[in-house]
């Protein structure tokens, strides 16, 4: 019986800054690297092709879930291990992934703890750690759902979820501007998704959710133990929460610009 094969899969756009360091943590122990680009204008493709010839482009952006589903359709290996370009696989996590693939449980999916580096330090509180994300599973067993943002791997009652050893290191934001750009994109996708489902919002609802977000992160989840970065992250997350509800309110409760 042959050893199961494993692919690393990524969806990317303008990730030349991070991609090389990410792929260097996996290229020498996986069987396949599949990268789906959504229209990079930097040298992401050139970096990617130094590691793999399985580089594809879909610049008609369908949302995060559908893009991941398309990327998985290019995977030929028995297992798929998902990464983002701003993540790095630690040696302990590598060992755990390989052990899981060798064990080859056909209905088991695997999650890993993710440790994020934000504004100059690792964030171990704020509800950000261990931040378990489901990233490894048999390719033919399941896939991501079709959510436009905050997509999840579909897990049925017949599946077993196990946790891998080791951390996935996440270099999530370069600076405040990067945070604001990313959060604005998530807010827009969230509001669009809710609007399509007929949902509505209000300014007061946004304020309440924003306040709740700050209290949860900074007080309940002990973000104060992460120092000034914990406070800053809690404030920014509250702001992002307000913005997504405000976006939905503008879309569904205000008059459109006259012709």
Kindly list the structural domains of the chain, giving each domain's residue range(s) and its CATH number in brackets, ordered by start.
Answer: 6-171 (3.90.550.10), 176-253 (no CATH)
Give exposure, 63-99, as e/b (b: 16+ Cβ within 10 Å).
bbbbbbbebbeebebbbbbbbbbbbbbbeebbebbee
Calpha distance 112→169 (Å, rounded): 10
The half-sphere exposure of 186 on its side-chain side, counting CA atoms within 13 A, is 14
pLDDT of residue 84: 97
233-248 pLDDT per residue, tens: 999 999 999 999 999 9
CB atoms < 10 A from the CB of 193, how many? 16
pLDDT of residue 150: 87
pLDDT for the residue 1: 64
Query: pLDDT tens, 52-64?
Result: 999 999 999 999 9
List CB contacts of 124: < 8 A, sequence separation 6 or more. 115, 225, 226
pTM for this predicted structure: 0.86
Contact 34, 12 (CB under 8 A): no
Could you say which residues of the chain have pLDDT below 70?
1, 259
77, 5 in Cβ contact below 8 A? yes
Residues 6+ apart with CB under 8 A from 48: 12, 19, 23, 35, 37, 55
Q: What radius of gyration do the chain's Cα atoms show?
A: 19
Would you state the pLDDT for residue 149? 84
């Amino acid at each position: 019986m042959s050893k199961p094969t494993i692919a690393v899969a990524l969806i990317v756009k303008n990730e030349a800054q991070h991609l090389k360091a990410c792929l260097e943590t996996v290229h020498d122990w996986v069987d396949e690297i599949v990268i789906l680009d959504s229209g990079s204008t930097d040298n992401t493709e050139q970096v990617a092709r130094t590691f793999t010839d399985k580089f594809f482009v879909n610049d008609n952006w369908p949302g995060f879930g559908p893009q991941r589903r398309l990327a998985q359709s290019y995977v030929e290996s028995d297992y798929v291990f998902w990464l983002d370009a701003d993540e790095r696989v630690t040696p302990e996590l590598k060992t755990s992934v390989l052990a899981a693939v060798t064990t080859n449980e056909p209905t088991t999916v695997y999650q890993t703890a993710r440790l994020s580096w934000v504004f100059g330090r690792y964030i171990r509180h704020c509800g950000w750690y261990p931040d378990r994300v489901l990233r490894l599973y048999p390719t033919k067993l399941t896939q991501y759902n079709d959510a436009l943002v905050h997509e999840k791997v579909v897990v049925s009652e017949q599946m077993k979820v196990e946790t891998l050893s080791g951390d996935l290191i996440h270099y999530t934001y370069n600076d405040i501007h990067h945070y604001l750009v990313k959060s604005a994109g998530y807010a827009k996708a969230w509001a669009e998704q809710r609007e399509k489902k007929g949902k509505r919002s209000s300014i007061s609802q946004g304020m309440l959710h924003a306040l709740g977000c700050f209290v949860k992160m900074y007080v309940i989840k002990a973000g104060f133990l992460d120092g000034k970065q914990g406070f800053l992250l809690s404030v920014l997350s509250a702001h992002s929460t307000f913005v997504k509800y405000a976006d939905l309110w503008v879309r569904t409760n205000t008059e459109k610009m006259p012709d």
